[in-house]
Structure formats: C-alpha cells, structure tokens
Amino acid sequence: MVNLEGKVALVTGSTSGIGLGIARKLAAQGASVMLNGFGDAEGPLALVREACTRPSQKVLHHGADMGKAAEIEAMMRFTVDALGPVDVLVNNAGIQHVAPVEEFSPEKWDQILAINLSSTFHTTRLALPSMRARNWGRIVNVASVHGLVASAQKAAYVAAKHGVIGFTKVTALETARTGVTCNAICPGWVLTPLVQKQVEARAAAQQTTLDDARLGLLSEKQPSAEFVTPEELADLVLFLCSDAGRQIRGAAWNMDGGWTAQCSLRSPAAARLRSSVVGCSPYFEYGCAPLPSPEAFARRAAPLLYGARWPRGW
Ligand code: NAD
C-alpha cells in the first residue's frame, strides 16, 4: 500500500491494542519502529519484529511515561540516536476514567489531559523541526469519536480528545505549505483492554454476561453493531502515510461503524422510546420529522433516556 522503507516511525502507547496494530502494519511496510508503552515489552517487540520485511529494519522500545514531558523528551532523543529522525509520528497513548463531573477526581483529570492531549503537543513540537528540514512527515493523532461528540461520565477524555482535534488542525495549518501532514483519526468502539474494562464494569453493574455487556455497549452507540479493529485503523494510518494522503490535512477522520452519522435522538434507545413520546411520527426514528416540543420531550422521553440526572428545563 505504501513504501516506508528507510523511514522511522514512533508509535506511542504501542504495547497493546490499537497502537500495537498500527506499529505492526508500519513495520510490514518497511519502517523501523520505536514502540512505547507500559507492561511487557518483549511480546510486542517480537510481534512487530515478526512483521518486518527487510533485514535493515530495527524495532526498539522506550518506556517513557507519556504524562511526563521530561520522559517524552528523553524518548525523542533516544529515538533519533538509535533509529534516526522520526518520519511517521503516531500519537496514540491514551487512558480512560469514567465518573460524573462533580465526582471526577482532579488528579485523574490532570493525568488524562497530560497523557491523552499534552503528550501529543510534546512529541509533535520535538519531531516537527526534522520533518520540516527533510520536507516530509506524517503525524497521525489517534483521537476518538469522543473528539467529535460527547458521552456522559467521560469529561476529561472528551475534553482531551476534542483538544487533540483542535491541535491537529493548528499543526496542519502551520505545515500546510510543506510535505508534512497532520491528521486525526476517530475510532468508535474497538475491543482493546481499554474497552474491555468498560465491558467488565457494565457486566458487573447490570449483572449480565460479558457477551451481553459487549452487545449492549455496541448497540447503544455503534449502528454497525460490530467493533472496529486495530487492523482497520492501521490501514487508515497507512493510507494517510501514502502519497494519496498528501492533501489530507487537518482532518478528523472517523472510523466508527456509523456512530457519528446519527443524531443522538436517533439512537436505538431513542427509537425504543418513539412510541412513548407525545406527538412523534414514525419518522422520528430517522430524524425526518420535527422534534417533539421541548415540553413533550422533557415530560416523556428525557427522564427515560437520562434518568434522574436529566436537568429540568432546556
Ligand atoms: P489500550 O489500553 O489497549 O492501549 C493503551 C496503550 O497506551 C498501552 O500500550 C499502554 O501501555 C499505553 N499507555 C497508557 N498510559 C501510558 C502512559 N502514561 N505513557 C505511555 N504509554 C501509556 O488502549 P487502546 O484502546 O488501544 O487505545 C489507544 C488509543 O485509542 C487511545 O488514545 C484511546 O483513547 C484511543 N481510542 C480507543 C478506542 C477504543 O474503543 N478502544 C476508541 C477510540 C479511541
């Protein structure tokens, strides 16, 4: 798909999930790869080395904490010394924490902002000078559908991912007359350890099986009712790295099984409520009919959709 022979790729948060999938595909196209992330590094190193196609390729790991600027600086120096200047930068490291705003711990807020957003600024500011000097580079920021729309209980994550998309646009504008591009990709649900934790929490809260919890999670938000895979996202990254991606700049490209194509009132939950909403035609489900009056919505549908948390009034 794209020849990355002789190129150097750095993928943050690549000891697991989406990052590992992206690192493997970059290696399969000929890039030397710097992995980053916590936990066992030997397994991921072996998997990415296995994907390499040329003897000259190198695959290494640096365990920098992406929440700490000094460690990110050390990782960037280590990468240049060991592999050469970074050509492909994939900002992927991310964590999640779920709680209502008033119960959200300030420490978790700071941590999520640092890892999910500020790390992207630090790696980019450090990689850009050499990309500009060689007039070629690809920066791909793994945002989320939560960079485009919100979900309750994910204040820090949603704020950080919206920030990533804003930062992506600024970087794309500042590099618009160069061979460096910067884009964000916005996955919907991908069944990685990050989401598995949410599946398990849901199964426990609802006293249901893991299969039912997975299906419940999907059917609430993702119309395809299928998870996006790391491999599919990695192919999107390869496309953005290709010559065909040269004029894609500042995009927030969703791969979300239709999640962001729908308005929230067309979600399956809203569809189930259709019959209980005063004044709604069958077309309500498809967003073709006028919405019910605010009074009708607040009286009948909103408490069912949002429970006791529904704020009275609009
Ligand atoms: P994951 O938990 O499988 O992997 C996260 C990776 O980040 C791991 O390698 C982990 O070690 C690393 N990491 C975590 N904290 C770190 C830190 N402080 N410093 C360095 N590395 C750290 O998660 P994933 O689902 O593969 O998520 C990857 C990215 O994709 C995240 O940015 C996430 O927000 C985004 N995303 C995931 C989904 C999904 O459904 N899984 C959807 C949209 C966006």
Query: Is 157 annotated as catalytic?
Result: yes
Atom of ligand 1 nearest to the CA of 227: 40
Q: Is 66 in the pocket of ligand 1 (CB under 6 A)?
A: yes
Atom of ligand 1 nearest to the CA of 93: 7
Q: Please report, as a single letter, which amino acid is at residue 182.
A: C
Please write the tens of the pLDDT for every residue from 260-279.
999 755 555 555 544 444 33
What does the alpha-carbon distance between residue 185 and residue 240 come to, in Å, rounded to a whole number? 10
Q: Which of 135-139, 166-170, 223-227, 288-292 has the lowest mean pLDDT?
A: 288-292
pLDDT (mean) for 17-30: 98
What does the alpha-carbon distance between residue 54 and residue 60 come to, in Å, rounded to a whole number? 15
Residue matched to tokens 């953005």: 240
pLDDT band for position 301 (50/70/90)?
Answer: low
Give the residue with greater pLDDT, 26 vs 308. Answer: 26
Report the separation in Å between the CA atom of 193 and the middle of ligand 1, taken as the mean of its atom positions: 8
Cα separation of the two ends of the chain: 50
Q: Is 187 in the pocket of ligand 1 (CB under 6 A)?
A: yes
Please write the tens of the pLDDT for every residue from 187-198.
999 999 989 999
Q: Is 245 in the pocket of ligand 1 (CB under 6 A)?
A: no
Ordered by start, the domain boundaries in the chain are: 8-190+228-259, 194-223, 264-309
Q: At the fourth CATH level, which superfamily is domain 8-190+228-259?
A: NAD(P)-binding Rossmann-like Domain (3.40.50.720)
pLDDT band for position 280 (50/70/90)?
Answer: very low
What is the percent of the chain with per-residue pLDDT over 70, rounded to a whole number?
84
| pLDDT value at residue 263 | 73
Closest CA to 93 of 53, 141, 48: 141
Report the separation in Å between the CA atom of 175 and the middle of ligand 1, taken as the mean of its atom positions: 27
